[in-house]
Structure 1
Amino acid sequence: MLTKPPATTTEPVTTARNLSAGRYREVDVVIIRPAGIPAEPIPVCVALHGGLGGAKSFLDLGLPNMLSALVQEGAAPFAVVAVDGGNWVGHKDDDPQRMLNDELPTWLDYHDLANTPFAMLGIGEGGAGALNLARVPGSAAVAAISPTLFDTWPDAQRSGLFIDQEQWERTEPLRHITEISNMAVGLWCGTGDKTYLGTARTLAERTKAPVASFTPGGHDAAYWREVLPDALKFVGGYL
């Protein structure tokens, strides 16, 4: 069941619990608008969480204040919309990409937002998911923070994220460079993130990413809080 706020609301954060046919379950939808912006259609950046943290993990990272500060500094207003997606790869009765492609536009329209996202942002597994989603034509930018990328099937298999090699090949961003390179790519990965630093560098080189930041930090919330404002600024620059 969709939950819709009053049309005049200016609340910066709205949460809903929607039934997803693609995921065969109810999912959290967290809509984050800049504080003080009227409730009217504005561009949307879809945010994909890392691991099993869920859509609300972006609230724990402080994204609402970061977004409001960015707009107060002069950036054009946009909303960030986070949804629950599991590991973003999906299994038998769980298709998060179907949810994003077929269901999310209706949810955005219901909440008086532009129903075609202009950008994607993701962390960890969500970073890889955002890069995968970016293969769909129409968006301008994708920001990936500590993305879980695998350049060989044995490495991917050890992660336990994929059903089989075919699924990995279909959804692995490093296997679809040409499609991803059609948009602006921003990459952030901590130099202490030994598991994914190498593949993040590889993706940055192959896509000629206009922003590729590799600074001290690990695969953890402390690093993500540090770089998230820059990732928001990056996608906001493509409005």
Structure 2
Amino acid sequence: MISRRGVLAGGAGIIGLGVVGAAGWELAPYRVKESLGLTPDPFIPDAPEGQVRLETVSSAAMGADVDLFTAVPEGYGDGAGLPVVVILHGSSASAAEFRDFGFGHFLTAAVQAGAAPFVLAGTDDGPAGWVPDGSGADPQAMLTEEMPRWLGERGFDADRRVLWGWSRGGYGVLRLAEAQPDFARAAALFSPAVVDPDPVFDDLGALARLPLGIWCGDDDPFVDGVRQLVDGLDVPPDVLTYAPGAHTRAFWNDHTLDAFAWMAALL
């Protein structure tokens, strides 16, 4: 994909950009830029990634082996004693892709910028995402019953944890938090895939004691559902960011360091 930076560096060779002008381009909706193939490349910090692992573990709750991703910031060895941010990915992602997303680099960059150190850990969802699907796979049970044991066996402080998810993973975070409000210390949501009516809107009161951080793009297809979600909360989110962008890795990466700093403070 061609980045806007690359296009501009090549001069005024594209008529459309010349017509719009620099100021007009900045105000153009994200969907217009995306349709022209001119959205920015996803940002990844220039920082070392520390210790990153992808292992296979056996999950009784899922009835299968699953990938387990962990990342420790550079300079903290194997991460012994560090708290954990548990990752719930979106529908088009998997734990095997987390390294390519640059999560290890983001983690070290956040710590270098002053965030208290923590570990990232995530696995894969089931056929229905992060909720039980009726066929025996129960991602919620995996996260609440098996994940703490796996992380404890690796020396992490699995009792200090927050949840972080995007898209379908953000929806999964909400459903898990409603089912077990005391499981995590906080929840960070990137563009949660929520649409009213949906079961997640049935029990928003359960989230009243859970600190929430929510980030969503103005051109995200779920932004209306996110606004309805926020309006329905008994307690406003600690962090609420609507910013230019869509349902893309580029938008999520742009806000990952902010989310990591916020989560670290609550661990």
Which TM-score bucket, shorter chain as reference? 0.7 to 0.9
Match of 2:24 in 1: none
Instruction: Output the CA distance in 2 between the equivalents of 1:191 and 1:202.
Output: 14
Given that 2:186 and 2:263 are in contact with CA atoms closer than 8 Å, whether structure 1 keeps it comes out as: yes
Q: 2:76 aligns to what? A: 37
| Aligned with 2:102 (options 62, 74, 81) | 62
Whether 2:261 is the aligned partner of 1:221: answer no
Q: Using the TM superposition, give the Cα deviation of residue 147 of structure 1 relative to its aligned residue in structure 2, in angstroms.
A: 0.4
What residue number does 1:199 align with? Answer: 225
Post-superposition offset of 1:198? 1.1
Counterpart of 1:134 in structure 2: which amino acid? A
Structure 2 CA distance for partners of 1:11 and 1:61, relative to 1, 3 Å: closer
Q: Which residue of 2 aligns with 1:157?
A: none
Stretches of structure 2 lacking an aligned partner (at least 5 in a row) = 1-48
TM-score by structure 1 length? 0.83
Aligned equivalents of 2:86 and 2:70: distance in 1? 9
CA shift at 1:52, angstroms? 4.1
Q: Secondary structure at the match of 1:112?
A: coil
Partners of 2:97 and 2:259 in 1: how far apart? 16
- Which of 159, 162, 167 pairs up with 1:119? 162
Deviations 1:146-199 (A, max 9, x none): 10112115xxxxxxxxxxxxxxx3xx2x222111121110001111113x1012
CA shift, 1:11, in A, is 5.0
How far apart in 2 are the matches of 1:130 and 1:117? 16
In angstroms, what is the RMSD of aligned CA positions? 1.7
The C-alpha deviation readout for 1:196-229, integer Å capped at 9, x for no partner, is 1012122223240011111111111111111222
Where does residue 88 of structure 1 map in the other structure?
A: 130
- Please identify runs of 4+ aligned residues in structure 1 that moved more than 3 A: none
Residues of 2 paired with 1:16 and 1:100: CA distance? 16
| CA distance in structure 1 between the partners assigned to 2:257 and 2:166 by the alignment | 13
Which amino acid counterpart does residue 203 of structure 1 have in structure 2? L
Distance in 1, matches of 2:94 and 2:104, equals 16
Deviations along 1:91-120, whole A, 9 cap, x unmatched? 112110010111111100111111224210
- The answer to whether the 8 Å contact 1:127/1:145 transfers is yes
Partners of 1:48 and 1:17 lie apart in 2 by 17
Unaligned ranges ≥5, structure 1: 1-9, 154-168
Deviation at 1:53, TM superposition (A): 1.3
Tell me, yes or no, if structure 1 residue 187 matches structure 2 residue 214: yes
- The residue correspondences of 1:11-160 to structure 2 (distance < 5 A) are 12-39=51-78, 40-86=80-126, 87-91=129-133, 92-135=135-178, 136=180, 137-153=182-198
Contact 1:49-1:57 at 8 Å conserved across structures: no
- Cα distance in 1 for residues equivalent to 2:57 and 2:230: 35
1:34 touches 1:71 (CA, 8 Å); kept in 2?
yes
